[in-house]
Amino acid sequence: MPSEKRARQRAQRAQKQAVVQRQRQRRRNLRRTLTFGAIAAVIVLIVVLIQVSGSKPKKSATSGSHHATTTTSTTTTTTFPTPTTQPLTTTAVAPKCPPATGSKTRIVLFTHAPPGCIAKTSVWDATFTTSVGTFVVQMDAAKSYAAVNNFVFLALYQYYNGTFFHRIIKGFVDQGGDPAGTGSGGAGTGTGVLSKYGYPGYEFTGNTPAASCKSAGTCYATGDIATANRGTPSTDGGQFFLVVPGGGAQLSGSPVYADFGHTVSGLSVVEKINSYGGPATSSTGAPTAKIYLLKVTVKQVKS
């Protein structure tokens, strides 16, 4: 029996030791958990602090200065791009067809109208880059050869580059194509050579819409481009106008302007230009801001 007693005592001691070991292990596990939790909390805190620090608004480089940047209203008229100054030639030159890639020299004054420089069946795209956007006009030579030939000729000589829309009347037209922006010029100005400003030194006779359009009121449509003149087709020159919504009905009563193209892209830009015009009752159409025609490029799309 003593041996059995000792065996029981050993078993009890082993059981007690196992309980003690388990308690020690639990304490060790708890310490590890607390340690890892503290480390994780510190990491999270550091990340939060970095994010909060990085989200603080930066001070403007010009804050505190009288020149601090401010939000510009859509009606601001002083931030439009302006063209590089283009010199005006003061001596009329004999016209000759320019290179297909365009003349490197800007010429705005010629002794007479240009020769036929384009094919009579050709179709051209003219891209107008303005200070408020870009629009494209397509011109069919078969519809109005003299006017399309003239426009392509002048565009290739950079005639229109750097000009601005000098006459804008809301609900009517956007008119441009005058290197001096005065709208003057034409025959009878007191000199043997036509004005080097309002006209390119010559006048020509453009093709006018069919007479039947007058009674129908369909001579000119929104987006059309036509030659500007002094009331007769024989006084066409370098100036042009674009018809805006409402303008076609007014113009159709007097179809004396050569309709030589139509806006195929960017009509919204044409309308935006018109928003800077004077009221419909204005006789001069003096715009409220100078909307520049930075450049005109022409490209033949059909021979």
Q: Characterize the bridge pairing of strands 259-265 and 133-140.
A: antiparallel
| Residue 270 contacts residue 153 (beta carbons within 8 Å) | no
User: Nearest Cα to 163, choosing from 82, 73, 281?
Assistant: 82
Q: Residue 120: its pLDDT value, please?
A: 97
CA-only gyration radius of the chain, Å? 39
What is the helix (H) or strand (E) element at residue 225, kind and residue range? Answer: strand 224-227
pLDDT at 283 (0 to 100) = 73
Is the Cα dihedral 226, 176, 300, 201 positive or negative? positive
Round to whole Å and give the CA distance between 145 and 151: 10
Taking the mean position of all CA atoms in its chain, how far away is CA 134? 4
Looking at the whole model, is its pTM more than 0.85? no
Q: What are phi and psi of 186, to 5 degrees?
A: 110, 175
Sequential pLDDT tens for the chain (303 residues)? 456 666 666 767 777 777 677 777 777 776 776 666 667 666 756 655 555 454 443 333 333 333 333 333 344 444 677 776 666 667 889 999 999 999 999 999 999 999 999 999 999 999 999 999 999 999 999 999 999 999 999 999 999 999 999 999 999 999 999 987 777 654 434 343 445 557 898 999 999 888 889 888 889 999 999 999 988 999 999 999 999 999 999 998 889 999 999 999 999 999 999 999 988 777 788 999 999 999 999 999 999
With contact defined as beta carbons under 8 Å apart, do 182 and 198 qualify?
Answer: yes
pLDDT score at 85: 62
**Cα 293 to Cα 161: distance, rounded to the nearest angstrom:** 6
Give how far Cα 194 sits from Cα of 91, 98, 99, 219, 235, Å: 11, 21, 25, 29, 11
pLDDT in the model for residue 205: 95
Tell me the two tokens of residue 91. 């001596």
CB-based contacts of 15, cutoff 8 Å, min separation 6: none
Secondary structure letter of residue 277 according to DSSP: S
